Amino acid sequence: MESSSRKHHVRCIVKLGGAAITFKDKLEALNRESLSRTSLQLHEAMGGGVSFNMDWSKNLEVPDPIDMELHQKHAFVVVHGAGSFGHFQASISGVNKGGLDNSLLVNAGFVATRLSVTKLNHKVIRALASQGIPAVGMPPFAAGWSTHKRIVGSSFLDVVLRIFVDAGFVPVLHGDAVRDSHQGCCILSGDVIVRRLAEELQPSYVVFLTNVPGVFDRPPSEENAVLLQEIVVYEDGTWSIARPRLEAPVKTEMASHDTTGGMATKIAEAASISRLGMDVYIVEAGTEHALQALKGNIEQNWIGTIVRKANST
Amino acid sequence: MESSSRKHHVRCIVKLGGAAITFKDKLEALNRESLSRTSLQLHEAMGGGVSFNMDWSKNLEVPDPIDMELHQKHAFVVVHGAGSFGHFQASISGVNKGGLDNSLLVNAGFVATRLSVTKLNHKVIRALASQGIPAVGMPPFAAGWSTHKRIVGSSFLDVVLRIFVDAGFVPVLHGDAVRDSHQGCCILSGDVIVRRLAEELQPSYVVFLTNVPGVFDRPPSEENAVLLQEIVVYEDGTWSIARPRLEAPVKTEMASHDTTGGMATKIAEAASISRLGMDVYIVEAGTEHALQALKGNIEQNWIGTIVRKANST
């Protein structure tokens, strides 16, 4: 890639967790309020200014050109999970286990999963666009992402994505069913996509928006669950809890229909991202703490989990 | 590309005209009945057999594995127009004239147009999947298509598309707003996409499904409009009407919000495709004539327009 095409540094990659923007227990149930609040906060974090509706599906509300100025330095990339869109379809048909080429059930499940996740993607883009964020969808499968033994292989996406960011758009990717050259197919999770993009785009920081205030030492619904405020990651990939000091080992949770792993996977993904040198914030969507994280400017009383590389400031 | 990757010959590229699957005069109005009939016919043309719902968005109707056999030789590619999804948004903001980098109106129009056309794409895929067709969306912009001076440039899509077809999927593309390296942006019409794909994939035949019985010598709503049954295309790109014999010159129509051209453009596109050596059928969606065309097996009393290369059988 020519260096001249790298005109915009990507400031932030933000992951909208499936649990934050959907109700995970009910088939294809969108959490409109959370998505709407997050879209507003994203608009503010990207620089704010006049917001006008870019969703012209109900009527053609064309804003007055006199009031309009073009800000093209959004430099955010959004990735969202599937939540209750796609997870059920994927797990009932076993898409993540492969078998695309010899099972009609998997074949149908693949199509049904994609139909569901792209439906959510459309809803997310609509929510962002209605806040004046120039969001454009990039379904990973359609953009040529594939895996080999569930590891992300080469993809054309990085180049394309860079073009989008340079054009001032905010690309919106999502967890997706993709082709796997070894097992036929698998589920590519939003978290894995975030890591892959962080490697390529080297953003200043990465934010994971969830439905709980951060990462806890046990399922947050349990009594005495403790929020892990700071996780430090070492060169060899291991990590430890820097704040607060804990005595018991960390437990994790995993919903039965969550085909892409629970909190242990999330910490591991966050750790592998922070090893690249950028801070990772895990925070509850829609809160003032989420807004601080999205701005990359967390304050003294911030509530959430920071995952950072050892020896970094 | 390795020849080994070309395992499936693409039988047919089918264009679902925007006028055939939407009501063109009303914002985002789907013609559900026409789309549903066409989906049924496509399932039959692709080989029929047991049809089961691959849209699991309402409930998780997983079919009984005992009844299921995997047929992976669909080898159809579907492209659809925008109709009343996208055309209004594009024309009111001037997306087709460019200016993405210096006009917020164009920027917003680009986002609004994409939001609308991808909404239609999702509806088309849902309709196909509910008939048991393993349809997967490929929004051209997201897949890296771009233009230079409104001419389609290099794209990664062909390789990706080939992988999809080989995997037994039916890719569904659509007219889209794309980046243009000269003027900033433009509208890439479904017809242009069909031609580009026909060059690359060399299908046995191409079908354009419209809302009228074929191409006429004047707007079909006018009295005495005559259906052009056969158009012959010569080596130099010119074309003439082989059947029936006409005396007056051919008139064409163009809807004011049709940003991608009217019937003259369609004949020119069909002619440029048939020059590649394959027959092009232009026929009314949902009719028995459409089904014959989709099967590539038209009968004596077929009603529609054939566009074919001179000297071909």
* B188/B260 Cα distance (integer angstroms): 8
Q: How would residue A237 be classed by pLDDT, with cut points 50, 70 and 90?
A: confident
Q: For residue range A160-193, what is the model confidence (pLDDT) as tens digits?
A: 777 788 788 999 999 999 999 899 999 999 999 9
CB contact under 8 A, A101 and B62: no
Q: Where do the DSSP E strands lie in A21-169?
A: 76-80, 135-137, 146-148, 151-152
Mean pLDDT: which of A91-95, A300-304, B3-7, B99-103 is highest? Answer: A300-304
The CATH classification number of B3-309 equals 3.40.1160.10
By percentage, how much of chain B surpasses pLDDT 90?
A: 55
Tokens read off for A257? 């229909």
Which pLDDT score, from 0 to 100, does residue A167 have?
A: 83
Does residue B249 have a cis bond before it (omega within 30 degrees)? no
Q: For residue range A36-87, what is the model confidence (pLDDT) as tens digits?
A: 999 999 999 998 776 778 888 877 667 665 455 555 566 899 999 999 999 8
Domain boundaries, chain A: 3-211+280-290
Q: How would residue B128 be classed by pLDDT, with cut points 50, 70 and 90?
A: very high
Residue A32: Cβ within 10 Å count: 12
Query: Comparing A45-59, A86-100, A202-216, B265-279, which segment has the lowest mean pLDDT?
Result: A45-59
pLDDT for B213 beyond 90: yes
The average confidence (pLDDT) of chain A is: 85
Which pLDDT score, from 0 to 100, does residue B2 have?
A: 37
Query: Which residues from A are below 8 Å from B57, CB to CB?
Result: 27-28, 112, 115-116, 119
Which pLDDT score, from 0 to 100, does residue A250 have?
A: 59
Q: Could you tell me which chain B residue has the CA closest to the CA of A60?
A: B89
> Does B146 reach chain A within 8 Å, measured CB to CB?
yes
* A284/A304 Cα distance (integer angstroms): 7
Buried residues in B276-304 as b, exposed as e (16+ CB within 10 A): eebbbbbbbbbbebbbbbbbbebeeebbb
CB contact under 8 A, B159 and A139: no
* A179/A186 Cα distance (integer angstroms): 6
CB contact under 8 A, B137 and A114: yes
Q: What value does the mean pLDDT take over residues B285-291?
A: 98
pLDDT for B86 beyond 80: yes
CB contact under 8 A, A179 and B163: yes
**Domain spanning A3-211+280-290: CATH 3.40.1160.10:** yes
CB contact under 8 A, B137 and A138: no
How close B118 gets to chain A, by Cα (Å)? 8
Residue B275: Cβ within 10 Å count: 21
Residues 282-301 of B with CB under 8 A from A: none
* A302/A296 Cα distance (integer angstroms): 12
> Does A253 reach chain B within 8 Å, measured CB to CB?
no
> Does A29 reach chain B within 8 Å, measured CB to CB?
no
Q: What value does the mean pLDDT take over residues A132-137?
A: 94
Q: Which of B101, B104, B167 sits opposite A100 (nearest CB)?
A: B167
CB contact under 8 A, A92 and B28: no
Contacts of A46 (CB under 8 A, 6+ apart): A74, A76, A133, A170
pLDDT for A210 beyond 50: yes
How close B224 gets to chain A, by Cα (Å)? 37
Q: What value does the mean pLDDT take over residues B211-238?
A: 88
Residue labelled with tokens 């009295």:
B223
The average confidence (pLDDT) of chain B is: 85
Q: For residue range A270-307, what is the model confidence (pLDDT) as tens digits?
A: 999 999 999 999 999 999 999 999 999 999 999 999 99
* B143/B154 Cα distance (integer angstroms): 12
Q: For residue range B62-83, what is the model confidence (pLDDT) as tens digits?
A: 766 545 555 556 689 999 999 9
Residue A9: Cβ within 10 Å count: 12
Q: How would residue B51 be classed by pLDDT, with cut points 50, 70 and 90?
A: confident
- CB of B252 within 8 A of CB of B263? yes
Which pLDDT score, from 0 to 100, does residue A139 have?
A: 93
CA distances to A81, A293, B64, B114 from B35, in Å: 30, 45, 27, 20
Query: Which residues from B are below 8 Å from A138, CB to CB?
Result: 142
Which pLDDT score, from 0 to 100, does residue A227 have?
A: 92
Strands in B230-233's sheet, in edge-to-edge order, are B135-137, B170-174, B76-80, B12-16, B205-210, B279-284, B305-309, B230-233, B239-243
Mean pLDDT: which of A165-169, A212-216, A266-270, B48-52 is highest? Answer: A212-216
Q: Could you tell me which chain B residue has the CA closest to the CA of A72?
A: B101
Instruction: Report the length, in residues, of chain B.
Output: 313
Residue B158: Cβ within 10 Å count: 16
- CB of B308 within 8 A of CB of B232? yes
Among A56, A252, A68, residue whose Cα is nearest residue B119? A56
Residues 54-113 of A with CB under 8 A from B: 54-60, 62-63, 65, 68-70, 72, 88-89, 92-93, 100-105, 107-112
CB contact under 8 A, A129 and B146: no
Q: How would residue A230 be classed by pLDDT, with cut points 50, 70 and 90?
A: very high
Higher pLDDT, A267 or A313: A267
* A51/A43 Cα distance (integer angstroms): 8
Q: How would residue B294 be classed by pLDDT, with cut points 50, 70 and 90?
A: very high
By percentage, how much of chain A surpasses pLDDT 90?
A: 55
pLDDT for A248 beyond 70: no
Q: Which of A28, A63, A134 sits opposite B111 (nearest CB)?
A: A134
SS3 B160: helix
* B163/B145 Cα distance (integer angstroms): 17
Residue A262: Cβ within 10 Å count: 13
Between strands B230-233 and B239-243, the pairing is antiparallel
Which pLDDT score, from 0 to 100, does residue B158 have?
A: 67
- CB of B278 within 8 A of CB of B206? yes
Which pLDDT score, from 0 to 100, does residue A219 have?
A: 81
Residue B86: Cβ within 10 Å count: 32
Which pLDDT score, from 0 to 100, does residue A252 have?
A: 46
Query: Comparing A48-57, B80-89, B188-197, B257-266, which segment has the lowest mean pLDDT?
Result: B257-266
Which pLDDT score, from 0 to 100, does residue A58 have?
A: 78
